[in-house]
Structure 1
Amino acid sequence: MTKPLIEVENVKKYYKQTRRQWWGKDTLIKAVNGISFTLYEGETFGLVGESGSGKTTTGQLIVQLLKQTGGRVRFKGKDVSSFSAKQLKAWRKEVQIVFQDPYSSLNPKKTVQWILHEPLALHKLGDKASRYKKMAQTLSDVGLDKSYLSRYPHELSGGQRQRVAIAAAIILEPQFIVIDEGVSALDVSVQAQILNLLKDLQQQYHLTYLFISHDLNVVQYFCDRIAVMYLGEIVELGKTAEIVKTQQHPYSEALFSAIPTLGNSSAVMQIEGDIPDASQLPEGCPFQSRCPYVYELCKREKPVFQTINDGHLAACHRIQQREEEERVL
């Protein structure tokens, strides 16, 4: 079994919401509410869920773009939240992030050469000649030639901009990359090209990915394991093939039933209403207000993770209820 690279231990991110009227009270928005999981070297781990579920916040917490309210993020066993400024700068070479919209993440006033040169200069790697060689080689690795060095982001297509963003992420040869909706802004044909490129780069650079996406078709193709997030919490986690085959949490069931499949006439499982306010989490199960299978127990007690089989976990009272019903029968 491969070694753990990233360990997320009971990580929380709360935001204080100041009262709007003088008679009101300050509230806490629980964007991420005590999640734990491990990423192993060389794997692609997917985070899925609705907008507002906490996926992007989780990715930014892991690479320390945001500081967690509680819990720990460990990289190769070391608590990165305890790093000094000098240690954190050195660690930045090992972790990178690719954002959804490369046009926003790339400096529009700078050339591709400046964009790729900046991280090399920041970490004082190589001399002028070796840096130029490194930039040209990295562009070649993402499918672009060195003539692109003189171009500006607005002169590139969406797919080319994302290739440049990926080049900027891998030029320091990191071990771990967060890909936050990295292909959702691209045409379907370009999506396939970028996903295949990411797979090739993973082998070439020995990368570990955290892949954040709402597109379950893409996640099925690209990820080794999946964690389903709802309202800042992980409700189901396991191998991709296992979760695709048999979802154990009603929220996961609803998400996967909504995947459009050619020739599939099965009904989509409907969940009513919107995701609740993260500052007013319900007592008991956070999904109770939208769940079609809700029990009285769900309104009183928050479910804990139960092991379905090796590596497949879900937090749902329905699992235990079904087991009891099967024993009675």
Structure 2
Amino acid sequence: MKQPLIKVENLKKFYDQRRGKFWEQASYIKAVNGISFTLYEGESFGLVGESGSGKSTTGQLLVQLIQQTEGEIYFKGEDVSSFSAKQLKAWRKEVQIVFQDPFSSLNPKKTVQWTLDEPLALHKLGDKATRYKRIVQTLHDVGLDESYLSRYPHELSGGQRQRIAIAAAIILKPQFIVIDEGVSALDVSVQAQILNLLKDLQHQYQLTYLFISHDLHVVQYFCDRIAVMYSGEIVEIGETEKIIQSQQHPYSKSLFSIVNH
């Protein structure tokens, strides 16, 4: 039986809305409004919903790029918010995120080698020779070779950039990766290559994925279970095929009507 890797309880993220006048009552944008779910080791868990539903905010909360307003995130039973600075740094090796546009996460002024070496150096993982060997192996794992080490992001195709972004995510050998619209900016043929690569890496590296997407066909292919988000809340959750075949919530029915027709 698969063990829980991440457990989320009553997670909330509110943003203050600026008041027009000082006497007006403060109001909040409820980006994530009290969601709970569990991610099990080795699974691909999808978050689906329209733009603004809270999917990306949830992903950023899970890797602590942003702090929650309320609620708990447990990693292997430990409350992440209770971690000391030292524990938090060690934990950051275990969780990574891949964004939709690698241009936003890859430094345009740095080579591929620098991009892949930086996290290893930051966590003091080996000497230069050891790190170089790991960088080359990781490149091979994502379908590239040493010739890419001296290249800059602008010298790469969209698919190659995403492979480098994935390499940067897996080089620390994490347990959990958030993939936030990781293939939506790519051509359909390249999408299929990247999705198959992610599946291969999942088995090779024993990875657990939170896969955020608005593309239901991609989610149907890639995810074991899915949660449907609407206005910051999870309105439905379950095995992918069961939800695609029979939705219970009106919003889910509307969302999945495009898949079923």
With the shorter chain as reference, the TM-score category is: over 0.9
Tell me if 1:238 matches 2:215.
no
CA distance in 2, matches of 1:119, 1:182: 20
Cα contact 1:18–1:25 (8 A) shared by 2: no
Which whole-Å CA distance do the structure 2 matches of 1:78 and 1:22 have between them?
41
Q: Which residue of 1 aligns with 2:38?
A: 38
Q: Kindly indicate whether residue 93 of structure 2 is the aligned counterpart of residue 129 of structure 1.
A: no
* TM-score, scaled to structure 2: 0.98
What is the one-letter code of the residue matched to 2:32? V
TM-score by length of 1: 0.78
**Which residue type is aligned with residue 241 of structure 1?**
E
Instruction: Name the residue aligned to 1:201.
Output: 201
Which residues in structure 2 correspond to 1:180-329 (within 5 Å)?
180-259=180-259, 264=261
**Pairwise CA RMSD of aligned residues?**
0.9
* TM superposition shift of 1:28: 1.2
Match of 1:280 in 2: none
What is the DSSP-based 3-state SS (H/G/I as helix, E as strand, rest coil) of the residue aligned with 2:149?
Answer: helix
- Tell me the alpha carbon deviations over residues 97-131 of structure 1, each in whole angstroms, 9 at most, x when there is no partner: 00010011100000000000000000000111111
2 CA distance for matches of 1:72 and 1:23?
A: 33
Distance in 1, Cα, partners of 2:229 & 2:101: 22
Contact kept? 1:95, 1:176, Cα under 8 Å:
yes
Between the aligned partners of 2:85 and 2:154, the Cα distance in structure 1 is: 34
Distance, in Å, in 1 between the alignment partners of 2:22 and 2:198 is 51
1:29 equivalent in alignment to 2:29: yes
Partner of 1:175: 175
Q: Which aligned segments of 4 or more residues in structure 1 are displaced greater than 6 angstroms?
A: none
Rounded Cα–Cα distance in structure 1 between residues aligned with 2:104 and 2:151: 16
User: Comparing both chains, which one has the higher relative contact order based on Cα–Cα distances under 8 Å and sequence gaps of 6 or more?
Assistant: 2
In the alignment, the residues of structure 1 paired with residue 40 and residue 198 of structure 2 have an alpha-carbon distance, to the nearest angstrom, of 17
C-alpha separation between the residues in 1 aligned to 2:117 and 2:20?
46
Contact 1:64–1:81 (CA<8 Å) still a contact in 2? no
Aligned residues of 1:44 and 1:208 also touching (Cα < 8 A)? yes
- Identical columns (%): 80
Please state whether the residue corresponding to 1:37 is helix, strand or coil. Answer: strand
Greater radius of gyration (CA): 1
Q: Give the whole-Å Cα distance in 2 for the aligned partners of 1:230 and 1:112.
A: 38
Question: 3-state DSSP class of the match of 1:36?
Answer: strand
Corresponding pairs, count? 261
Q: Which residue is 2:93 aligned to?
A: 93
1:217-269 Cα offsets, whole Å, 9 max, x none, are: 0000000000000000000000001001101111111011023x7xx4xxxxx
Indicate the residue corresponding to 2:106 in structure 1.
106
Secondary structure at the aligned position of 2:110 is classed as coil
Q: CA deviation at 1:25?
A: 2.2
Shift of 1:24: 2.5
Paired residue secondary structure (1:150): coil
Residue deviations 1:130-176 (CA, integer Å, cap 9, x gap): 11000000000000001101000000000000000000000000000
Query: 1:286 — aligned with what?
Result: none
Output aligned runs, 1:112-123, within 5 Å: 112-123=112-123
CA drift at 1:91: 0.4
Deviation for aligned residue 1:26: 1.3
8 Å contact kept, 1:8–1:35: yes
